[in-house]
Chain A
Amino acid sequence: MSVKLSTRQVGDVTVVDVAGRITLGEGSSTLRDTLREMVASNQKKILLNLGEVSYIDSSGIGELVSGFTTVTNQGGQLKLLNLTKRVKDLLQITKLYTVFDVHDDEAGAVRSFS
């Protein structure tokens, strides 16, 4: 299974539920395209729910970082929700865990957007 993304609106926050693998190829390009479309349509409060993501490779990490900088540079916020142990370990190894605002609780994460 590659990646599957679905979006829903919670107040003015767009929650992107991501499932599957974010790896080089379809997985990372789907995430990239989705985030770019959201920013282009002025959706700038984005919460990426990675609870169903089984696997991220360095390309997937690159897309998360690119998404983060794209959204931030446009005056928006991109936050992460529900990291699996595997994804959390990867972000810690790469020192990105402290770069992203990471949450375990969706309601709290939504409230944290300014």
Chain B
Amino acid sequence: MGNNAHGETETVDQFLDSTLESVDTAEEIAVQVGQKAGFDEDDLNKIAMAVRESMVNAVVHGNRYNKRKRVRFSVTQNSDRLTVKVADEGEGFDYENLPDPLAEENLLRHSGRGIFLMRAFMDEFAIRRLAPAGIEVTLIKYRAPK
């Protein structure tokens, strides 16, 4: 833990294997950091869910469980927010043209709700393509003023 150039406290920044165990690990770390930062239980549940969905996307759809590829996972907290970044090394996908999971014709689809849930549970959501490969998702949750 230390302060970076922006005065933020960097609590975690690590590379995780492309396994479902890493999904659990990332979720636990994010919740632990969130607890220390003072988020309430409702917000912690939302953070946990969003981190899980982003890690599943990275491990399953991005890196496709490839043992040679890893997921970079970071959690940064400062005075008013928790920021989580999840980056895979996969081939990417067309995130700008995802089907709407709330559309009548998609309601009973088996999959396709992950990014929708991340957006729903976090205050800010960003996604971008990385060079030479991969997708990075940024999730931000603001702490309610006391």
Contacts and interface: CB of A to CB of B under 8 A. Distances in A.
Interface of A: 23-25, 57-59, 61-63, 65-66, 68-69, 86, 90, 93-96, 99
Interface size class on chain B is: 20 to 34
A57 B102 contact: no
B108 A69 contact: yes
Contact of B114 (A58, A86, A93, A95): A58
Contacts of B120: 93
Contact of B52 (A57, A68, A99): A57
A96 B109 CA distance: 11
Nearest to A68: B108
A57 B110 contact: no
B56 to A, nearest CB: 5
A55 B24 CA distance: 13
Contact of A58 (B20, B107, B111): B111
Most chain A beta carbons < 10 A, residue from B56, B110, B111, B114: B110
Identify which of A62, A68, A99 gathers the most chain B CB atoms within 10 Å of its CB. A62
